[in-house]
Structure 1
């Protein structure tokens, strides 16, 4: 004999709804496992919320001591079809014919259109590094 749902089905963001989804996907759970997996709110109200879900007819306690969903809840979730994934085209990267007309870059990264400075301060110039190559002598 299946229990009929006495009240409206819980909100999809509610803890009872998430508990129903979890039980349907993974099987019956103990109360402790449900409290770990689903956020039922403050510690003082957790047991009351599970009891309310059992009284509403969404969950029921099995003889083994676990919490399971009722047949009417299984029928409700069986009627919900999974959302179809969009099978469209991935958009190509944005075409940027000119870096100066691009909206995607910050102004600080755009090079100066008048060129580099002619009067570069001496303190900002790096020392030139001489690269030395070593030839190996063959034995």
Structure 2
């Protein structure tokens, strides 16, 4: 006696046909995700650029001070004064630059939170629209 083989392809096709899928929702979700990723990347790139500019400026200023520090002096006391001036400059500018870095981070954080809140709203709206559409389709199917 031959065993009859089940046609799984036909069975899956029947199942998928019974549950219609709205590909527009997937497309919209993908577009929303891509847009969010683009905006988040822009925030990170902007912060990295500002941070690099600040770091470069600080390095140039420090190197200029080191050049002044390395110049020959007439008196031994002048070396001590130059070193003291350099240390004072470093202490003062370190605080200023750390505050500037903190401002860059705060702006990036605020922008990220704003983007995430907007994305959450967008995803919520998309989800609600998908649910309403599915409910409508289910009601039509049951009638």
Q: TM-score range by the shorter chain?
A: under 0.3
Give 1 or 2: higher strand fraction: 1
The structure showing larger relative contact order (alpha-carbon pairs under 8 Å, at least 6 residues apart) is: 2
Give 1 or 2: higher helix fraction: 2
Q: Could you state the TM-score of these two structures normalised by the residue count of structure 2?
A: 0.21
